[in-house]
Amino acid sequence: MRVLVTGGAGFIGSHIAEALVAAGHEVVVLDAFLPSAHPGGADVGDRPGVRTVRGDVRDADTVEYALRGVDAVCHQAAMVGLSTDFADAPDYVGVNDLGTAVLLAAMARRGPRELVLAGSMVVYGEGRYTCELHGAVRPGPRRVADLDAGRFEPPCPTCGAPLLPALVGEDAPTDPRNVYAATKLAQEHLAAAWARATGARAISLRYHNVYGPGMPRDTPYAGVASFFRSALARGEAPRVYEDGGQRRDFVHVADIARANVAALQAVADREAGVLAPFNAGSGTPHTVGEMAAALAEAYGGPAPVVTGEYRLGDVRHITASSRRLAAELGWRPTVDFATGMAEFARAPLRGQAPAGGRSRR
């Protein structure tokens, strides 16, 4: 099968391209090589099993060219992470939503009819919570006054009691709470509309916090794992926001690549005209503070600093249940938290030379 991987030279996309080649597929990479994803530049040449097209997914002619002879599309190209300012909104909408619309329009004209979309857990907003008195509840956005006072846990919206976070299933309501989240949900709606209009088949893999070798260094749009790893590479302590108790699901990029291979192999058997969402996470929650401590310990210090700072638009807890992906597509994560963090502590980031002898392992 010949697969177009948009954003296929980026952090996650490059791992997916390698996994597809290893599985016997031919890959076409379409990537704009934006500095935010490729600090220090990038090698744009072809490699065995991979043909590279340099161009923007918003350019219809480039997309048409990249789609020639393609059997399926794995759409990874996106501007990621929580925006530094609402002024970034046009860039997020342009890259994520206009880019997706241009791609899907080209696919509607010339095919193919099978799509795997890089979704995100951010579409859920806050995660799943239960109140001892009121059962399952959905807390609203956290108040600035509470955050300023260091009250980071969202209370029950009915009685104000403490809540217990739990795993989120794909049937949970969506509630995007920042610009990036809104664009990721819009991508799913566009893909669903395309599938209905063309009788195509689509899967959205709602990634949780992906980490691993090749994350871009020192960019405000990278994930929290990259923030911490970049700080350690500079000899600085990772700065942990809030009290470090935010629960996330950290999933290794190799497992996400395998999930994409499984989804591409299964998408042809899905129901036509429907987008099927699947959570893609490790299934084992950890706090942000635990992740920072594990990275710092494996790297050889310095120890993290808990700052009490916060970012508006961040949610407190969001962790996934990936049981549906395991049950229907046969995928299971293989890299456990301790092993993955020890590897990530040693692995180079994009824009950084390989780590030296600071690691303890």
Q: How far apart are CA 223 and CA 358, in angstroms?
A: 23
**Looking at residue 340, what DSSP letter applies?**
H
Single-letter residue type at 190? L
* Catalytic residue positions, numbered: 180
Specify whether the CB–CB gap between 168 and 127 falls below 8 A.
Answer: yes
Of 240, 208, 227, 244, the C-alpha closest to 127 is: 208
Cβ neighbours for 339, distance < 8 A, ≥ 6 positions apart: none
Residues shown for the chain: 361
Of 223, 209, 346, 195, the C-alpha closest to 281 is: 209
Could you tell me how far CA 153 lies from the centroid of its own chain?
24
Of 180, 28, 23, the C-alpha closest to 97 is: 180
Per DSSP, the chain holds a count of helices (H) and strands (E) of 11, 16
Q: How far apart are CA 108 and CA 193, in angstroms?
A: 11
Specify whether the CB–CB gap between 315 and 182 falls below 8 A.
Answer: no
Cα–Cα distance list, 48 to 29, 52, 59, 260, 281 (Å): 12, 11, 26, 20, 30
Cβ neighbours for 18, distance < 8 A, ≥ 6 positions apart: 257
